[in-house]
A and B are shown apart, each in its own frame.
Chain A
Amino acid sequence: MTAPFIPELDVSEIQNLLPKYKDIVAYAQGGQGTVFRGISQMGVPVAIKIYSPDQTLTRAELEVKKLQKVQSPYMVTLIESGYLTVRRKQAFYSITRFEHGKDLRRILNDHGALSESEVGILIMDICNAIDELWKAKVVHCDIKPDNVLQGADGHFLLIDLGLAKHLDARTITQYGLTMGTLGYMAPEQMVGRRNYTLRVDLFALGIVAYEALTGVHPFGNNQMLIGSRDTKIAPISSLINVDRNLERVIMRLLQWNVLMRPKSGIDVINMIRR
């Protein structure tokens, strides 16, 4: 994985760029950007993510006003976002409330697959977050295990709103951006379709849920296989003993044909509760 900044960003650079935040410390580094922790003027712990300048152009003009209004117990709260001049380049940044917990990627790596009941909770919690986002016509676009946090109460939280795309008509019509992470992008996202809906998030959630339940990625982490309508996904019941209803729900989320997927998170929740 290429580091987003070479040499790495250090705390003093961020402190100068964002002077209203204090006690900034380095937290994590990924392919897309570098994450710092800090404290806001109100004393709220925050996560500051500075995206690689290479990603800035494709994420230009993102509308965030509506995103800032989206409140859900199942989603991290966006405090602010915008652009910073980092080493003479424009870099996109987002500042969210810092949430304690462990991301699903680490959980799966450290402890293996989740139980059926945990996956049920995962699906319902993230569906709630997806519905809340969609009320503001926002799709997250980057649901993956790294962006799902499990708190101490066992509930799950969607984090990293840096890619969230507000479906404002201007951004839709001017930019046919393909955003997301390979291996978790819905077929229609992959072909660069514009004006997509929350169903891209439901598809990604299907992958995450399948992976969390079985420990394996349904498409072998191969985005090309997701793009092909002929790809057959191994039934979950061929890998593990599973509740038939839970399997049915996950397979509905993973429908290649967008129109065959559920139309809302609440529909999925109702299917789970059946």
Chain B
Amino acid sequence: MFLLNLGYRWGSGFSLDVDGYVINPSGINKEQAARRDNLDLTDTQCLLFDPQMYLSILDGAVHSRTCENLATYPWFGVETPTFNSSEMNTRDWMSQVREQVNWHPVIPTDENNIRNVIRECVEFQKEFGATHLIVPTPLVDNDDDEFGTQLKWLNAAADLKGRFSQPMFATVAISDYLLSARDPHENPLLQTILDNISVSDFEGAYVVVLQADAPRVRITSKRIAQSLLFMSRVIQRSSKAVFINYADDLGHACIAAGATGFASGTSFKSRRLCLSDFEDRTGGSTFPRLYSHSLIGDFSMEDLGQIRDERLLRYIGSDATPIAEPLYAALKARGSAHDVPAWRPSKNNVTAANKHRVMLMAQKARELVQLDETAQLNSVLHWLQEAEAHGRLLASRFSDNPLDEDGTHVEVWGKAFQIHLDTVEPNFI
């Protein structure tokens, strides 16, 4: 199951062929989110609203734009001007919020207040139309506490569980450094988290890893990759669903490990959860890149030209979608992306590239979930091994003029998956 992260306004009748959406309040204020009628959901698509309580650690001075959005949601406990639709539109109201907001989230610590905050948050989600309710919890940022703070929230939420018919998911939001220091099966904090989640009454877990800073969009820490695979497996073994967010297409491997689904997107902010992405910056432009599931990378148009010139286009042959077909045709005819308007490498000309990325991720995830457990493991092992082998050939061919997409993560994920099979699935050959 592939879910698309949406953290910004969407147009009327917005619809994509994905299995569902995750709405993120960091990119959209409460009043905009409330107008979700624009989102055209089918009966089979699921809708999650991630409360992002874990972002209460953001710094109002450094991440002001994100904090302004978050502040509009009641569970952060920040005072904001009241929105009155008869007196103002959402834009005017948000201007007032920007002027007046003082980002100092009030995160309760006593049981009653925690319960009240959770109630308000899940009722908002229910009203929003979420098909699954995500229990907010603060970020796990300290191993001395041994998940004690988060358990207070989860225990309070468990008391409310009977009031809602939707499945409830426990948020496990954890700082990357707590996963990267040890192998997952040797990590006592992770053991405590998984022990408690797997015996809980919740229907599942919603897992995100917060990166303080990340040099690359995709996760390049072997232990973090291993940890996500391990969490997927252990939680699934306890007959619960697992959604992995912000791990980009590493989530595809997590499905084989046991995850129910994963969410990603097209921008940095929707593909990973990294503090630096929330810093206030102006400008910023993007150019189209072709997402290749086979090579596990996003290739610039220049990269594609180089790959074509080495007669290696077959490496991405299985990644064509109807949207990318014209680009493939141009490349095969020894043309270039400049010949295809939707893929022309010009600033912010990314609509086709984004749609292709989302469509391909969803399609590959659907193909994977149709396989049985062993076939899923085989499929992902094959996927990672092939991508690594092909990536190595590309690296050697282009050693003088390396591709923009360097594929560093591929080898890391391959090793992580191999270790996962050795330790968690020892009977898998």
Interfacial residues, chain A to chain B (CB-CB below 8 A): 134, 137, 167, 169, 172-173, 176, 188, 191, 193-199, 257-259, 263-264
- Is the pair B155, A188 in contact by a Cβ cutoff of 8 Å? no
| Nearest CB on A from B270, distance (A) | 31
Task: Given A188-B191, A197-B196, decide whether A172 and B234 contact each other with a Cβ distance below 8 A.
Answer: no
- What is the CA–CA distance of A72 and B198 in the complex, to the nearest angstrom? 24
Instruction: Point out the residues of chain A lying under 8 angstroms from B199, CB to CB.
Output: 134, 197-199, 263-264
* Closest 10 pairs between A and B when the two form their complex, measured CB to CB: A169-B152, A173-B148, A194-B146, A197-B199, A263-B199, A263-B238, A172-B148, A258-B195, A195-B146, A197-B195
Instruction: Point out the residues of chain B lying under 8 angstroms from A263, CB to CB.
Output: 198-199, 238-239
- Apart from the given pairs A169-B151, A258-B195, 20 other A-B contacts in the complex at a CB distance below 8 Å: A137-B155, A169-B149, A169-B152, A172-B146, A172-B148, A173-B145, A173-B146, A188-B191, A193-B192, A194-B146, A194-B148, A194-B192, A195-B147, A196-B195, A197-B195, A198-B199, A199-B195, A259-B191, A263-B198, A263-B239
Task: Given A263-B198, A263-B238, decide whether A195 and B148 contact each other with a Cβ distance below 8 A.
Answer: yes
Flag whether B179 is at the interface (Cβ < 8 A).
Answer: no
| Nearest CB on A from B98, distance (A) | 36
Task: Given A169-B151, A169-B152, A259-B191, decide whether A193 and B146 contact each other with a Cβ distance below 8 A.
Answer: yes
Across the two chains, which residue of chain A brings its CB closest to B239? A263
Across the two chains, which residue of chain A brings its CB closest to B144? A173
- What is the CA–CA distance of A198 and B195 in the complex, to the nearest angstrom? 9
- What is the CA–CA distance of A259 and B236 in the complex, to the nearest angstrom? 12
Interface of B is mostly: helix
Contact of A259 among B151, B194, B239 (CB under 8 A): B194
Flag whether B341 is at the interface (Cβ < 8 A).
Answer: no
Flag whether B402 is at the interface (Cβ < 8 A).
Answer: no
Instruction: Point out the residues of chain B lying under 8 angstroms from A176, CB to CB.
Output: 146
- Is the pair B234, A259 in contact by a Cβ cutoff of 8 Å? yes
- What is the CA–CA distance of A259 and B149 in the complex, to the nearest angstrom? 21
Contact of B188 among A173, A193, A264 (CB under 8 A): A193
| Nearest CB on B from A218, distance (A) | 22
Across the two chains, which residue of chain A brings its CB closest to B148? A173
A-B contact pairs, 27 of them (CB 8 A): A137-B155, A167-B151, A169-B111, A169-B148, A169-B151, A169-B155, A172-B146, A172-B151, A173-B148, A173-B149, A176-B146, A188-B195, A191-B188, A193-B146, A193-B188, A194-B146, A194-B192, A195-B146, A195-B147, A196-B195, A197-B195, A199-B195, A258-B191, A259-B194, A259-B198, A259-B234, A264-B199
Interface of A is mostly: loop
Total count of chain B residues near the partner, CB < 8 A: 22
- What is the CA–CA distance of A188 and B198 in the complex, to the nearest angstrom? 16
- What is the CA–CA distance of A210 and B50 in the complex, to the nearest angstrom? 46
Instruction: Point out the residues of chain B lying under 8 angstroms from A172, CB to CB.
Output: 146, 148, 151
Instruction: Point out the residues of chain A lying under 8 angstroms from B194, CB to CB.
Output: 259
Contact of B192 among A134, A137, A173, A195 (CB under 8 A): A195
- Is the pair A195, B191 in contact by a Cβ cutoff of 8 Å? no
| Nearest CB on A from B424, distance (A) | 10
Within 122-157 of B, Cβ neighbours of A (below 8 Å) are at: 145-149, 151-152, 155
Across the two chains, which residue of chain B brings its CB closest to A202? B199
Across the two chains, which residue of chain A brings its CB closest to B188? A193
- What is the CA–CA distance of A193 and B194 in the complex, to the nearest angstrom? 13
Across the two chains, which residue of chain B brings its CB closest to A258? B195
Contact of B196 among A173, A195, A264 (CB under 8 A): A195
Instruction: Point out the residues of chain A lying under 8 angstroms from B191, CB to CB.
Output: 188, 193, 258-259
- What is the CA–CA distance of A197 and B237 in the complex, to the nearest angstrom? 17
| Nearest CB on A from B230, distance (A) | 9
- What is the CA–CA distance of A191 and B188 in the complex, to the nearest angstrom? 10
| Nearest CB on B from A49, distance (A) | 28
Instruction: Point out the residues of chain B lying under 8 angstroms from A199, CB to CB.
Output: 195, 199
- What is the CA–CA distance of A259 and B191 in the complex, to the nearest angstrom? 7
Instruction: Point out the residues of chain B lying under 8 angstroms from A258, CB to CB.
Output: 191, 195
- What is the CA–CA distance of A88 and B192 in the complex, to the nearest angstrom? 40
| Nearest CB on A from B202, distance (A) | 12
- What is the CA–CA distance of A196 and B198 in the complex, to the nearest angstrom? 12
- What is the CA–CA distance of A194 and B149 in the complex, to the nearest angstrom? 12
Instruction: Point out the residues of chain B lying under 8 angstroms from A257, CB to CB.
Output: 185
- What is the CA–CA distance of A197 and B152 in the complex, to the nearest angstrom? 14
Instruction: Point out the residues of chain B lying under 8 angstroms from A194, CB to CB.
Output: 146, 148, 192
Instruction: Point out the residues of chain A lying under 8 angstroms from B145, CB to CB.
Output: 173
Instruction: Point out the residues of chain B lying under 8 angstroms from A193, CB to CB.
Output: 146, 188, 191-192
- What is the CA–CA distance of A6 and B194 in the complex, to the nearest angstrom? 45
Across the two chains, which residue of chain A brings its CB closest to B156? A169
| Nearest CB on A from B257, distance (A) | 14
Instruction: Point out the residues of chain B lying under 8 angstroms from A188, CB to CB.
Output: 191, 195
- What is the CA–CA distance of A137 and B198 in the complex, to the nearest angstrom? 14
| Nearest CB on B from A34, distance (A) | 34
| Nearest CB on A from B273, distance (A) | 24
Within 155-194 of B, Cβ neighbours of A (below 8 Å) are at: 155, 185, 188, 191-192, 194
| Nearest CB on A from B286, distance (A) | 42
Across the two chains, which residue of chain A brings its CB closest to B190? A259
- What is the CA–CA distance of A259 and B195 in the complex, to the nearest angstrom? 6
| Nearest CB on B from A175, distance (A) | 11
Residue among A169, A176, A188, A197 with most chain B CB within 10 A: A169
| Nearest CB on A from B240, distance (A) | 9
- What is the CA–CA distance of A183 and B185 in the complex, to the nearest angstrom? 24
Across the two chains, which residue of chain A brings its CB closest to B155? A137
- What is the CA–CA distance of A134 and B155 in the complex, to the nearest angstrom? 12
| Nearest CB on B from A182, distance (A) | 21
Instruction: Point out the residues of chain B lying under 8 angstroms from A134, CB to CB.
Output: 199
Across the two chains, which residue of chain A brings its CB closest to B238? A263
- What is the CA–CA distance of A155 and B217 in the complex, to the nearest angstrom? 59
- What is the CA–CA distance of A257 and B230 in the complex, to the nearest angstrom? 14
Across the two chains, which residue of chain B brings its CB closest to A264? B199
| Nearest CB on B from A185, distance (A) | 16
How would residues 346 to 362 of chain B score, 1 for a CB under 8 Å from any chain A CB and 0 otherwise? 00000000000000000
| Nearest CB on A from B118, distance (A) | 14
Residue among A193, A196, A258, A259 with most chain B CB within 10 A: A259
